[in-house]
């Protein structure tokens, strides 16, 4: 297995529920190492870049508004096979489909917002992780 660094974003619902410490603790107990962490207010430009694949869709303004309700926390985590393992721990995008014991089942929304209010974003591939880490962390903000 390869050592990978991936991006996690704690979304506003996780911030509002006060579960970021419990979620971070789950990642750390799985042996992942923090390489970078910061809180930021997501700008329109940042969100349009991050969600470029859906920014043209009619529901994007709702996503942008949600992602700007509170500051978000960007986290660079490193570990063996980190991308796949973290996505397994997190569970599927829709919290209603997430298995018990996953982060999205345990902390996410089970209502009509279950695909958006799902606690965290996690990179889905090494290529995406590299792009997203550069998007949320500047030079010298991710450490060895």
How many other CB atoms are there within 10 angstroms of residue 44's CB atom? 10
Q: Rounded distance, CA 104 to CA 8, Å?
A: 13
Calculate the alpha carbon distances from 84 to 43, 62, 107 in Å.
Answer: 28, 28, 20
Given the residues 50, 53, 117, 121, the one annotated as active site: 121
Q: How many Å separate Cα 129 from the centre of its chain?
A: 11
Backbone φ and ψ of 96, nearest 5°: -65, -20
Is 53 catalytic? The answer is no
Q: Which of 51, 71, 28 is nearest to 116 (CA)?
A: 51
Q: Which of 46, 83, 91 is nearest to 67 (CA)?
A: 46
Q: Which residues are catalytic?
A: 121
């Amino acid at each position: 297995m390869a050592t990978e660094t991936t991006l996690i974003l704690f979304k506003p619902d996780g911030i509002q529920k006060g579960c970021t410490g419990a979620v971070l603790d789950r990642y750390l107990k799985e042996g992942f190492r923090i390489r970078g962490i910061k809180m930021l207010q997501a700008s329109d430009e940042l969100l349009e870049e991050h969600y470029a694949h859906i920014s043209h869709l009619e529901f994007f303004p709702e996503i942008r508004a949600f992602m700007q309700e509170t500051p978000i926390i960007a986290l660079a985590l490193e570990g063996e096979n980190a991308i796949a393992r973290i996505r397994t721990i997190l569970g599927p995008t829709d919290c209603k489909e997430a298995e018990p014991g996953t982060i999205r089942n345990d902390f996410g929304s089970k209502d009509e917002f279950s695909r958006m209010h799902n606690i965290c974003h996690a990179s889905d591939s090494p290529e995406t992780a590299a792009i997203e880490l550069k998007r949320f962390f500047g030079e010298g903000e991710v450490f060895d």
